[in-house]
């Protein structure tokens, strides 16, 4: 999953399943939508039945492209590249082998490329639509969203509101993503336990991570609405926004051994990326200081930053961000970490305060340039 990811009730949840509402508590609103998956399974059956190329494309553009789930994917990738209904259609048809590609399906070491993984996921779906329907019907009976909301809000500052439309989608790339109030989860990569049943706990955790982005985005926009040139503090935002849910919710370092045993090769790569980045953590701190300064001075833009810190199966930004939040949590307390969502310009100053406490206890720990930290806060 060469993914790019950026990234994002109080007393009530409004959960919407297939157009029916489940009232629970007040300001928050989280809806769940399966329409793209439902139409997508019909489309795969339509392909299997021998429909013509023209009819296949017409079905996609008429019944799948307009769904909220499909459009959430468009919005997700349109932030980083030219992306629309047509490019997404070609993306899928290349995976299914109906459109040729010069891209290789395997790397030199035999591991799957992004195309290889996408092809594996879509071809499996094409051959197993009955199982997809069974999984979908089972998924509709599982009440996991309330726990996800509670988990996300536990690690957000007071006043955070979760207002989100959560779409199950057919994608073949990112397992999950968040674009403001739009969240997506790839049904093609639905987590399963060894016996083939849906892994509800992992599903809940992933939902909580993406909903945390939504809550982070809400409080950040409310408190930083007058901050200009936010693109010049993009890397700080990445480290805070991805570091918080990764450290508090996902905690991937606890699951690396188990990831390596999974059938879905994506998790093997996640484990490999996490271990690789963790081994050079001190270098990541030094590189981050350099890139934060360059970003602040307007010399490093989004494309370069995203390519360096968010690319891969688990980008370096996740690893470094989680470590920074962990240091703050350990030495200053949880509230100090959670309050960074209110104004992430304070990340370096708060981290340095924690690092100095760590140093007093004998830990050798990186500290950022104080002048840089203060200039950003001003």
Please write the tens of the pLDDT for every residue from 155-214.
999 999 999 999 999 999 989 999 988 999 999 999 998 888 999 999 999 999 999 999
pLDDT value, residue 108: 86
The mean pLDDT of 132-154, rounded to a whole number, is 94
pLDDT value, residue 169: 98
In a 3-state reduction of DSSP, which class is residue 140?
coil
pLDDT at 303 > cutoff 50? yes
pLDDT value, residue 301: 85
Burial of 254 (0-12, 13-18, 19+ CB in 10 A): exposed
Which residue blocks in the chain are alpha helix, DSSP H?
A: 35-48, 53-59, 68-78, 85-95, 114-127, 129-139, 145-154, 200-223, 234-245, 256-259, 265-279, 281-296, 302-309, 316-332, 334-338, 347-360, 370-377
pLDDT value, residue 23: 36
pLDDT value, residue 3: 35
Residue 280: how many other CB atoms lie within 10 Å? 13
pLDDT band at 12 (very low <50, low <70, confident <90, very high): very low
Q: What percent of the chain has pLDDT over 70?
A: 93
pLDDT at 21 > cutoff 70? no
pTM over 0.75: yes
pLDDT value, residue 263: 78
d(CA 90, CA 73): 14
pLDDT value, residue 5: 34
Average pLDDT in the chain: 90
pLDDT band at 9 (very low <50, low <70, confident <90, very high): very low
Between 109 and 182, the more confident residue is 182
Longest dimension (CA), the chain: 71
Of these ranges, 10-24, 125-139, 251-265, the one predicted with the greatest mean pLDDT is 125-139
Between 320 and 28, the more confident residue is 320
pLDDT value, residue 190: 94
Tokens matching residue 57: 């494309």
pLDDT band at 2 (very low <50, low <70, confident <90, very high): very low
pLDDT value, residue 363: 92
Please write the tens of the pLDDT for every residue from 283-301.
999 999 999 999 999 999 8
pLDDT at 323 > cutoff 90? yes
pLDDT at 326 > cutoff 50? yes
Question: What is the per-residue burial (b if ≥16 Cβ within 10 Å, else e) of 330-343?
Answer: ebbeeebbbbbbbe
Tokens matching residue 323: 């470590």
pLDDT value, residue 137: 97
pLDDT value, residue 10: 29
Please write the tens of the pLDDT for every residue from 227-283.
988 999 999 999 999 999 999 999 999 999 999 988 777 888 899 999 999 999 999
pLDDT at 8 > cutoff 50? no
The mean pLDDT of 16-32, rounded to a whole number, is 54
């Amino acid at each position: 999953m060469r993914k790019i990811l950026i990234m994002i009730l109080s007393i009530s949840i409004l959960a919407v399943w297939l157009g029916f509402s489940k009232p629970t508590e007040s300001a928050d609103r989280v809806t769940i939508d399966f329409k793209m998956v439902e139409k997508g399974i019909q489309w795969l059956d339509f392909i299997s039945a021998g429909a013509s190329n023209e009819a296949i494309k017409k079905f996609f553009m008429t019944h799948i492209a307009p769904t909220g789930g499909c459009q959430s994917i468009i919005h997700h990738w349109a932030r980083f590249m030219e992306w629309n209904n047509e490019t997404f259609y070609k993306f899928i048809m290349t995976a299914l082998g109906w459109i040729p590609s010069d891209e290789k399906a395997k790397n030199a070491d035999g591991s799957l490329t992004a195309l290889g993984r996408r092809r594996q996921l879509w071809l499996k779906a094409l051959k197993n639509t009955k199982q997809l329907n069974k999984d979908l019907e089972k998924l509709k009976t599982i009440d996991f969203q309330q726990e996800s909301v509670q988990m996300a809000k536990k690690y957000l500052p007071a006043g955070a509101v979760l207002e989100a439309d959560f779409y199950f989608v057919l994608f073949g790339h990112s397992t999950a993503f968040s674009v403001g109030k739009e969240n997506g989860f790839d049904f093609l990569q639905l987590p399963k336990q060894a016996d083939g049943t849906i892994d509800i706990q992992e599903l809940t955790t992933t939902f909580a991570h993406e909903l945390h982005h939504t809550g982070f985005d809400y409080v950040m926009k409310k408190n930083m609405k007058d901050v200009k040139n936010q693109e010049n503090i993009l890397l700080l935002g990445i480290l805070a926004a991805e570091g918080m849910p990764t450290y508090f919710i996902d905690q991937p370092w606890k699951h690396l051994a188990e990831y390596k045993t999974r059938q879905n090769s994506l998790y093997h790569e996640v484990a490999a990326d996490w271990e690789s980045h963790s081994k050079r953590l001190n270098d990541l701190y030094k590189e981050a200081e350099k890139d934060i300064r360059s970003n602040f001075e307007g010399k490093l833009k989004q494309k370069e930053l995203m390519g360096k810190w968010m690319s891969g199966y688990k980008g370096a930004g996740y690893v470094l961000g989680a470590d920074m939040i962990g240091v703050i949590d350990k030495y200053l307390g949880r509230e100090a970490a959670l309050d960074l969502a209110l104004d992430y310009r304070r990340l370096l100053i708060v981290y340095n305060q924690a690092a100095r406490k760590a140093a007093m206890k004998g830990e050798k720990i990186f500290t950022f340039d104080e002048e840089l930290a203060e200039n950003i806060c001003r």
